[in-house]
Each structure stands twice: as structure tokens, then as C-alpha cells.
Amino acid sequence: MSKMTIQEPTFDRMIVVYRQAGMKAKPSRGIFVKHFKNIPMADMEIVLPEKKNPTLTPMDWVKFLISAVIGLVTLVGSLEMPKADVWVVIAIMSGVIGYCAKIYFTFQQNMTLYQNLITKSMYDKQLDSGKGTLLHLCDDVIQQEVKEVIISYYILMEQGKATIQDLDLHCEELIKEEFGAECNFDVHDAVKKLEKLGIVHRDSIGRILCAPLKRANEIIGTTTEEMVTRAQQSPAS
């Protein structure tokens, strides 16, 4: 016998959006958003608002039926005896009822442990809900847009000049080499943002060129984040 480590496919982040079911006379229009982390693919149902509680297993039902049949046969056999002992009948019935009660209460105990496990798992894995999740999504979108712009500008710095197709290809190759991930880079959106910032331009044949880094920094000017950082450092200084 030995220990074995099993790899379970897991979602690093998961966002659940749902609306509670309501009556036709009074429908529920509220939308709920929750954010979770490290959710195993096999346990996705734990993040759902309505979870299906487990019921008695087929083996539990088999135990119930076998106990009932044995108890009934024994009881009938005892009653058919010429001198049926009442205490024997009571003992048989008590044993059967006690065994069935043991199965039922064991199931209820397992249900309680299951509910506690679900509650603890949800508490540990839930990151945020409601407005906090929406703000997190907005921040992720902004970070994604910024990363696209930075990668595009870096490639243009390295290549000097590039067509839109070459820029797209080099950006995807850079991401694959550095992070080992394949993606469809949205180069058109990144170039559009760079042109809006005024740090890239096109030549007569449509190739894209970037301004030097120092000049690009002067064109962009002071960012909002830099202004906030300076404001926070001013009272301390």
C-alpha cells in the first residue's frame, strides 16, 4: 500500500452569475454575482446557489429492506409457534427497529458533516461578491488592455518597423516563448490605443513605427496612478 497524488483539473478563478427563481405574480429581478478561487472541475456544483442534497444510497435501502424482511419472517415464525413468547417478539421488533434507526441517524450525521464541509469550503474559496466582483472584473479588463499595449510597444521597439500582420505574429510568439501560452492577440485594438496615445505612427507604406521610450513617456505625461502615488507620499514626506 502506498500514497498516490492525483491531479484534479481545477479552475483558478470562477465567477457565477445567477438570478433566483420567483413566482409569476412576483418575479425576482435581482442578479447575484459571486467570485470563487481554486474550484475543482469535479466539484463545480458546490458554487451553485441551489445544491442537490444527497439521499440514502442504494446500499442503505438494501440494508433497510433486508432488515425488514428478516424481521418480518422471524416475527411471523415466532407467532406461528404453539407458545409464542411475547418477550421474544418484542426483542425481535426492537432489534429490527433499532437497526433501521441506526442506519437513518448515521445518514443524518453524514448529512450534517456534508453541510459543514460545504459551508467551510465555500467560506475558504469565495473571494468576493456583488460590487466587489464587478470592480475586480473591471480591473482585470483594464490590466488586460494595458498589457496588450505594453507588449505591442515593446515589439515595435525591438523591431523598429512592422506591419500589422508581423506585429501580431511577433506578439503571439513572445507570449508563447515567455509564458508558454498560445493566444489570439488583438493587435488591432492595441495599435488603435497606441495611436490614440500618440506614441506610434505609420509610414507611407503602412508600416507601424513607435516613438522612442523617453519621448513616449513625455507624450503620455503624468498618469493618474502617478498622481495618486505622489499625493499619498506628500503627507509622509
Write out the three cell numbers for 177: 516563448
Chain segment 40-65, per-residue pLDDT in tens? 887 777 777 776 666 666 776 777 67
pLDDT > 70? residue 81: no
CATH class of segment(s) 145-221: mainly alpha
Contact 195, 214 (CB under 8 A): no
List alpha helices for 184-236, DSSP H.
187-197, 213-220, 224-236
Chain segment 19-46, per-residue pLDDT in tens? 877 666 676 677 888 888 888 887 777 7
Cα 156 to chain center, whole Å?
36
Provide the residue ranges of all domains of the chain, joining segments of one domain with +.
10-51, 58-124, 145-221
Q: How far apart are CA 216 and CA 228, in angstroms?
A: 21
* Confidence bin at 183 (pLDDT 50/70/90): confident
Strand 126-129 and strand 208-210: the pairing is unpaired
Q: How far apart are CA 17 and CA 21, in angstroms?
A: 13
- In sequence order, the 6+-apart residues with CB closer than 8 A to the CB of 175 are 151, 181, 182, 183, 185
Please tell me whether residue 36 adopts helix, strand or coil conformation: strand
For 173-177, 210-214, 232-236, which range has the lowest pLDDT when averaged over its residues?
Answer: 232-236
How high is the pLDDT of residue 35?
Answer: 86
Write out the three cell numbers for 26: 412576483
Q: How far apart are CA 116 and CA 120, in angstroms?
A: 6
Q: How far apart are CA 108 and CA 120, in angstroms?
A: 18
Q: Kindly report the pTM of this predicted structure.
A: 0.56
Q: Which long-range contacts (CB under 8 A, 24 or more apart) does 159-166 make?
A: 160/209, 161/203, 161/207, 161/208, 161/209, 162/207, 162/208, 163/206, 163/207, 163/208, 164/188, 164/191, 164/206, 164/208
For 69-83, 86-100, 134-148, 216-230, which range has the lowest pLDDT when averaged over its residues?
Answer: 69-83
